[in-house]
A = this chain, B = another copy of it.
Amino acid sequence: MNTTRRARPWNFSAGPAALPEAVLHEAAADMLDWHGSGLGVMEMSHRGREFGSIRDAAEADLRELMSLPPEFKLLFMQGGGLAENAIVPMNLMARSDTRTADFVVTGTWSEKSCHEAARYGRANLAASSQDRGFRGLVPPVQWRLSDRPSYVHVCTNETIHGVEYGELPDLRGLGCDAPLVADISSHIASRALDWSRIGLAFAGAQKNIGPAGLTLVIVREDLLGHALPVCPSAFDYRTVAESGSMYNTPPTWGIYVAGLVFRWLLQQTHGGLRGLAAVEARNIEKAALLYDAIDRSSYYSNPVDAGARSRMNVPFFLADPAREGDFLEAARANGLLQLKGHKALGGLRASIYNAMPLDGVKALVDFMHDFETRHA
């Protein structure tokens, strides 16, 4: 085996997922006493000056990292992506008197979003790649958008099927002035986003930015104030925005850890690049290494269209599926963890989020080559 070994294994979990080691060290060191306050972060009143400074720094750092324009509000919420599937339509469905939202379904997550929204209005299936087994995207020119929809929903990175938008759709270019809602849960802060094309983006934190239980919502100001009467106060974006995410007690620990991750991301360098540009360049390199290894081999395969492959989540299959158990066992023995595919798709999956170093992907590729040599 030429796989690089180290004390801590490489963690390819799709989420909750690996966090930067530097972040974990800092969180551990501050556990009983954050910056001389005498309090651990979990023990601070969310309304005190200590936590206020943590919250404010997290927001400022994420805004800088993602080049977020000032007309967007950043909300720290709870419930995860699945709850947002209801919270988004509860907040936006009444924007247009059509009470119709358009959905582009490219995998399990956008499918769930479409299904859930039907509780709050009409959910129009504008396009779907289901007939192709969710192996790619549907070109926007083929979308059948409805007349004056309340919003148009896409999942810009499908964690299970490994399908990612390389470029956000330009709704105005399609003659539609509705806001684009983007579920960016599994690739937030992994690449630059064109905010001029987005009305609202949301993300569960547990893939790229922090612990489960924190949900980020990034919403353009003009979309606030349309909540349905059945929308719980705690999930009314206007209420949350006006209170600085303090209407109810926010998930303070999650905000703290995400803040450490944002600062870590800002400090990343790669070649001559810094911050998100460096992070994105490294993600491109990691993904290329893994997809190349898969494509060069006749033992491994990834079924996704070349232009739609996710940089974050790489599902792959063995030529001999009966060997999957052996693969996972041998991988674990070699310090490569959580490579089992989602049950909806089967096979294997490597999630290589921001916190996964290039060395981790190299270790996986080396192991895959070795396994193939022994078993193909």
Is there a chain B Cβ closer than 8 Å to A116's Cβ?
Answer: yes
Residue from B234, B247, B253 in contact with A253 in the complex, judged by beta carbons closer than 8 Å: B253
Is A169 on the interface with B (CB-CB < 8 A)? no
**Which chain B residue lies CB-closest to A51?**
B16
0/1 per residue, A27-57, Cβ < 8 Å to B? 1110111000011101111101000000000
Instruction: Decide: B19 and A251 in contact? CB cutoff 8 A.
Output: no
Contact B43 A213 (CB under 8 A): no
* A212 with B249, Cβ < 8 A, contacts A28-B32, A38-B337 known: yes
A230 to B117: give the CA distance in the assembly, Å. 10
- B38 near A9 with CB under 8 A, answer yes
- Dominant secondary structure of chain A at its interface with chain B: loop
What is the CB-to-nearest-CB distance from A79 to chain B, in angstroms, rounded to a whole number?
Answer: 5
Q: Let me know if A75 is at the binding interface, CB within 8 A.
A: no
Interface residues of A in 53-100 (CB under 8 A from B): 78-83, 85-87
Chain B residues with CB under 8 A of A218: none
In the assembly, what is the distance between CA of A86 and CA of B213, in Å?
A: 19
Beyond A42-B212, A82-B233, 11 extra complex contacts between A and B, CB < 8 Å: A8-B32, A13-B48, A16-B42, A19-B43, A21-B32, A25-B31, A79-B232, A83-B232, A83-B248, A213-B214, A213-B251
